Structure 1
Amino acid sequence: MQKDQTLKGVLLAFVAFAAYAWSDASVKMIDGHLSPYQSSFLGAVFCLVGLPFIMKSGDRWTDIIKTTNRPLWLLRFVAQAGGTIGSVTAFTHLSMAEAFALIFLLPSFVTIMSVFFLKEKVGVKRWAAVLIGFVGVMVVLRPGFRELSIGHLGAVFGGLSGAISIVVLRAMGRREKNISLYGAGVLGTLIVCGALAIPGFQMPTSLQWAYLAGYGLLAAFAAILVMYAANYAPATLIGPTQYSQMLWAVLFGYLVFGDTVDLPMVIGILLIVGSGLLTLARERARGTPLPPALGSDAQAAAVIAPEEIPNTK
């Protein structure tokens, strides 16, 4: 019975990360005709639909802004906004496979930050995973042999911002409600990106509204599925399923966007994905108490962070 429940959780996670990939493909379809600030803001508006489903028994609407640590809550607030802008910029200017490859540096960033900010002890294998990840990035980017763009910067910044959010989740611990963690990310994107979008705001066309709805609603749906998946399977098993997004990225790139993936990029992607999987394996072996470095979307980690069960006796 337990194996069946675990399998159900893992399958739900695969569907969730497929939805995340479709969400990213939707924002890429806008093709930069709207600013990344506006796309991020309007996508977050649609993401609000998921809030009632993220709430657990006993949660209140005011819990969205309540926190046990306001400075860290605000750091996540800002980091999620920056990460969303970076990711939208990356998917606009790069192929989906290349964008995902660079964003998937997130586990390496988490390892480095955990040493400095959480004082975690990192062994040789985790440092080796970090090194492998950065070698993969050099293979993908090939600086000096190809032109780099703002999309590459956006992807790296997206991974870095996501890593900040993950480290914040670990630092805040089990006392923070999932709805507060999720709410900080959505509200940060709404307020920061909304303010930045005002100067150049333009009314989307009907087709752009459809893409924006797909971007936000699919992301919300994915977060809900990840939360349900976490009810059946541990985060250490859910984590590796995130890399299935790379298969979707290659498929979308080939069938929808006309992208090609050359041999050096394939090698770089394999190195980066291998680095992430090795990091997740080491975190599982160490029994990391809060969510492992869940790849390209910090909101996924926010909804599976284990909460303390209040003592009602």
Structure 2
Amino acid sequence: MTSPVAPPPAAERPLPAIAAQFVCFTLVSIADSILKIIVAEAPSWQIMAMRSASSLLILTPIILVQMARGRATLRTGRLKAHILRAALSAVSVFAYFEALRELDLPVATAILFVTPFFVVMLSGLVLREHVGLNRWIAVAIGFVGALVIIRPGPEGVSLAALLAVLSAATWGAAMVAIRALGKTEGTLSILFYFNLFICLIALAFALPGWQPVPGWLIATILLNAAIQLVAQSFMLMAFRFASASVSAPVQYTQLLWSVAAGWFVFNVFPGPQVFAGAAIIVASGLYLIWSERRPRRPS
């Protein structure tokens, strides 16, 4: 799971941005496939703590080299914003891990596609920003697509599906709460504080019930952390090349990778309702992007 935090540049370079996003979401799909295996072996809070600690282990030598060159890479005046982002993200990541225990990977991925719609909705309701009719239409259609995937029946909605929706909602809230963070913070600073506070939060919940883990699981979590870090770096790169809406449609390729991984790795192929719901969500997302980028008529 990743989130755009860097501001759009003055001069856009769409092709490098699209290429960077393609690499990003390919890596995210690989990391999620590995996560599907990991979550069956240990409690979610423990996995989060170990993965964040692994990320810090990877980042530390890079940061030390930067500091040796006289760059204050960790200097920040926005510590509260970093903590808020980490707290919201911790809830999101925990909910996603728990959802992955029960949901097939393509289903979980498709439900997470509603995250941008939570961003739009929260921007209007919480920040009191103007949200045009076109945005609310996209939000409504996107949630219809999510309902098609979740398929609520007489017995209600499964807990795993609700957790996936909670993950999307809290991830969207984190993006709304700290979306301006990238205007003042560098890439290493963002990655470091994110993983530091996630690690501390996860440890608080994981330590009372900490379980011993085999060496192969530690190595797998370290690999997952490394892939996630590289994916986040490519996303930050993409948003420095061009604004979010330029490369946002590339995110939908993640569903193709998730279907392929589910089929070849877990021997599971999603039902037609998953593709139908995903198609509705993708269509509403593309409509939102198109409506935001089309030229406005002068008043």
Which category of TM-score, normalised to the shorter sequence, fits these structures?
0.7 to 0.9
Give yes or no for contact 1:101–1:273 (8 Å, CA) kept in 2. no
The runs of at least 4 consecutive aligned structure 1 residues that moved more than 6 Å come to 55-58
Find the counterpart in structure 1 of residue 44 from structure 2: 36
Q: Does the alignment pair 1:190 with 2:199?
A: yes
Find the counterpart in structure 2 of residue 77 from structure 1: 86
Give yes or no for contact 1:93–1:150 (8 Å, CA) kept in 2. no
Which whole-Å deviations, capped at 9, do the CAs of 1:30-74 have from their partners, x for residues lacking one? 242200111111111222224738x899752432xx233x54332
Q: Does the alignment pair 1:133 with 2:136?
A: no
TM-score normalised by the chain length of structure 1: 0.80
Deviation at 1:235, TM superposition (A): 2.8
Find the counterpart in structure 2 of residue 299 from structure 1: none
Q: Does the alignment pair 1:6 with 2:6?
A: no
Q: Which letter does structure 1 place at the counterpart of 2:191?
A: Y
Mapped to 1, the partners of 2:42 and 2:101 lie a distance apart of 10
Where does structure 1 lack aligned partners over 5 or more consecutive residues?
Answer: 288-313
Sequence identity (%): 28
Deviation at 1:140, TM superposition (A): 0.9
* Alignment RMSD (CA, Å): 2.8
Q: Which letter does structure 2 place at the counterpart of 1:219?
A: Q
Q: Select which of 18, 23, 29 maps to 1:15.
A: 23
- Structure 1 segment 1-313 matched on structure 2, within 5 A: 6-48=14-56, 49-50=58-59, 52=62, 59-63=71-75, 66-68=76-78, 70-144=79-153, 148-170=157-179, 174-285=183-294
Secondary structure of the structure 1 residue equivalent to 2:270: coil
Compared CA separation, residues 67 and 164, structure 1 to 2 (3 A)? farther
Mapped to 2, the partners of 1:205 and 1:148 lie a distance apart of 35
Deviation at 1:263, TM superposition (A): 1.4
Which whole-Å deviations, capped at 9, do the CAs of 1:183-203 have from their partners, x for residues lacking one? 342122111111111122122
Secondary structure of the structure 2 residue equivalent to 1:144: coil
Which structure has more relative contact order (CA 8 Å, sep 6+)? It is 2
Secondary structure of the structure 1 residue equivalent to 2:237: helix
Mapped to 1, the partners of 2:157 and 2:195 lie a distance apart of 30
Give yes or no for contact 1:67–1:176 (8 Å, CA) kept in 2. no
Which whole-Å deviations, capped at 9, do the CAs of 1:165-210 have from their partners, x for residues lacking one? 1111235573444444433421221111111111221222233223
Deviation at 1:122, TM superposition (A): 1.3
**Farther off after superposition, 226-235 or 193-202:** 226-235
Mapped to 2, the partners of 1:281 and 1:44 lie a distance apart of 36
Deviation at 1:231, TM superposition (A): 4.2
Mapped to 1, the partners of 2:290 and 2:196 lie a distance apart of 32
Mapped to 1, the partners of 2:39 and 2:176 lie a distance apart of 32
Where does structure 2 lack aligned partners over 5 or more consecutive residues?
Answer: 1-10
Aligned residues: 281
Which whole-Å deviations, capped at 9, do the CAs of 1:220-247 have from their partners, x for residues lacking one? 0111222333444443222221211111
Secondary structure of the structure 2 residue equivalent to 1:207: helix
Give yes or no for contact 2:55–2:229 (8 Å, CA) kept in 1. yes
Compared CA separation, residues 178 and 246, structure 1 to 2 (3 A)? same
